[in-house]
Amino acid sequence: EGQTVAVLDSGIDTNHPDLAGDLVHERCVCNTGPDCCPTGGNSGDGPGSAEDDNGHGTHVAGIITSSGSVAPLGIAPDAGIVAVKVLDQNGSFCCTADIAAALDWVLNNRPDVDVVNMSLSTFDRFSTVHCAQRTPSMIGTPYPGGSIGRHSRFHCTASSS
């Protein structure tokens, strides 16, 4: 209770009955196309800027904070959600710079955020050095996130330093 979670993902369904009451703020940092952000362009802030056009971010937010009226009860139903859209309708992001910019925005503008959730993956390979250089305010460690065919996926975990 009283915790706020930033979810960096494909956004959030602002009309979902299990989530709408938990939405604290919306932000979009998405450069995969000219209109990646629902409000137009590649960035946005405020209501409507993180509307989910993929569904993954809504699913993740539901696991965290669903009130249980439509979907199962979330693990922290009294938590608030700061939805930060970094993925397009295909679940893709253009570059790690978008992720770093979103993390920096959370760190610099949302002191109420206690936890950051990023369920992101890429087929690009990251070294420990690459993850550590993403942003000076974050420490990253790559870990294998599974494999599809011959391609291994690696993820960078992040925590406040």
pLDDT for 97-121, tens place per residue?
Answer: 899 999 999 999 999 999 999 988 7
- Residue 141 confidence class, pLDDT cut points 50, 70, 90: very low
- Cite the DSSP H helix spans in 12-112: 56-65, 96-109
d(CA 110, CA 57): 19
Judge whether 84 and 116 are in contact, CB under 8 Å: no
What was the pLDDT predicted at 132?
47
Confidence check: pLDDT of 149 > 60: no
What was the pLDDT predicted at 123?
64
What was the pLDDT predicted at 135?
41
More confident residue, 36 or 67: 67
Q: 3-class DSSP state for residue 159?
A: strand
DSSP 148: E
Confidence check: pLDDT of 68 > 90: yes
- Residue 125 confidence class, pLDDT cut points 50, 70, 90: low
- Cite the DSSP H helix spans in the chain: 56-65, 96-109, 128-133
What is the torsional sign of CA 31, 155, 80, 102? Answer: negative
